[in-house]
């Protein structure tokens, strides 16, 4: 049995996390507001009236734009205000609920990233759409024991937020989570099911504290373990509330994992 130690959501894809103490989960949905906005390259076509899953390469993201890690973003859903900080100083602000505020944010990122982006970036969103890396609404979950095993291989400490997960937990054996596909768990008052191991990408090479690429996480995983996986995607199969301190309690089941596309 495992215990939740940290909960996060990422209102804007590729940007900094928001710490949660508790949240409510609905069947077939993400954590509320998780990846509900994204900054698309100017060349990206996205129709908010008929949103479709697009690969991460269509958006600003850490895999290509490591300087995003130097920013701290704070989004207030009640007001729509997005504040952007660097070195504890506010450097941009805009209301994402109106066109003028969106343009202010787009202009900031066009200036901040310059030639790293294709065209003027566009802030995109669509009702009930999540800009996840996979074509499904899931929770990303990280076993901290697996992170510590990888630290031993690398010979250095890893900040867990390299892995940009929603749920971090303790109490499982290292790499145990990789065998949770198709298994169901009671999580707080909700129920979740493992659906796919998380294949790590080059975004994990970026140190979230320095905004520098200082490791080769996917290559190290592949060379050491024969796969690039760390963590598991889980889908919500029964509504309920989860909170820091809640237990992962396995319930026997024979459901198949979902074939998610990366």
Domain limits for position 25: 2-30+133-251
Domain boundary among 124, 144, 176: 124
pLDDT score of 86: 97
In a 13 Å sphere around the CA of 104, the CA atoms on its Cβ side amount to 15
Strands 184-187 and 190-199: antiparallel
Of 77, 102, 124, the residue at which a domain comes to its end is 124
Instruction: Please count the other Cβ atoms lying within 10 Å of the Cβ belonging to residue 152.
Output: 10
Residues 106 and 54 placed together within one structural domain of the fold: yes
In order along its 262 residues, the chain shows pLDDT tens digits of: 899 999 999 999 999 999 999 999 999 999 999 999 999 999 999 999 999 999 999 999 999 999 999 999 999 999 999 999 999 999 999 999 999 999 999 999 999 999 899 889 999 999 999 999 999 999 999 999 999 999 999 999 999 999 999 999 999 999 999 999 999 999 999 999 999 999 999 999 999 999 999 999 999 999 999 999 999 999 999 999 999 999 989 986 544 444 443 3
Mark whether 146 and 42 lie in a shared domain: no
Check which CATH number belongs to the domain holding 172 and give it.
2.40.33.20
Question: For residue 1, what pLDDT is reported?
Answer: 83
**Residue matched to tokens 């066009």:** 110
157 and 102 within one domain: no
Residues 137 and 244 in one domain: yes
How many domains does the chain divide into?
A: 2
Q: Say if 261 falls within a structural domain.
A: no
Do 26 and 137 fall into the same domain? yes
Q: What token pair was written down for 229? A: 């996986």
CA geometry: angle 53, 128, 186, nearest 5 deg:
95
C-beta of residue 178 within 8 angstroms of C-beta of residue 225 = no
Verify that 71 and 104 share a domain, yes or no: yes
Give the global pTM. Answer: 0.93
- Domain-embedded: residue 257: no
> Nearest to residue 165, comparing CAs of 56, 32, 1, 10?
10
Looking at residue 57, its pLDDT comes to 94
The bridge status of strand 167-170 relative to strand 139-143 is: parallel
Q: Are residues 51 and 100 in the same domain?
A: yes
Q: Are residues 51 and 24 in the same domain?
A: no
**146 in the same domain as 120:** no
Beta bridge partners of 156: none
b/e map 122-135, b = 16+ CB within 10 Å:
bbbbbeebbbbbbe
- Residue written as token pair 């909170």: 243
Tell me if 260 is assigned to some domain.
Answer: no
- 114 shares its domain with 156: no
Among 112, 123, 114, residue whose Cα is nearest residue 40: 123
Residues 26 and 42 in one domain: no
CA distance 120 to 107: 8
Closest CA to 230 of 157, 155, 151, 125: 151
């Amino acid at each position: 049995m495992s215990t939740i130690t940290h909960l996060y959501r990422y209102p804007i894809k590729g940007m900094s996390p928001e710490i949660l103490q508790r949240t409510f989960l609905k069947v077939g949905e993400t954590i509320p507001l998780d990846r509900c906005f994204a900054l698309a390259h100017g060349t990206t076509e996205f129709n908010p009236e008929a949103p479709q899953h697009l690969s991460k390469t269509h958006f600003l993201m850490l895999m290509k734009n490591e300087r995003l890690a130097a920013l701290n973003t704070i989004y207030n859903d009640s007001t729509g205000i997005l504040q952007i900080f660097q070195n504890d100083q506010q450097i941009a602000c805009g209301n994402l609920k109106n066109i003028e505020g969106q343009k202010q944010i787009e202009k900031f990122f066009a200036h901040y990233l310059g030639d790293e982006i294709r065209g003027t970036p566009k802030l995109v969103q669509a009702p009930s759409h999540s800009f996840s890396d996979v074509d499904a609404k899931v929770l990303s979950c990280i076993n901290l024991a697996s992170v510590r095993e990888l630290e031993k291989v690398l010979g250095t400490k890893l900040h867990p937020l390299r892995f940009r997960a929603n749920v971090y937990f303790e109490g499982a054996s290292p790499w145990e989570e990789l065998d949770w596909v198709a298994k169901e768990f009671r999580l707080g008052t909700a129920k979740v099911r493992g659906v796919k191991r998380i294949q790590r990408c080059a975004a994990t090479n970026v140190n979230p504290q320095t905004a520098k690429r200082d490791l080769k996480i996917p290559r190290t995983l592949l060379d050491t373990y024969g796969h690039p996986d760390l963590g598991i995607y889980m889908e919500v199969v029964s509504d309920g509330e989860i909170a820091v301190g809640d237990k992962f309690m396995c319930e026997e089941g024979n459901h198949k994992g979902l074939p998610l596309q990366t």
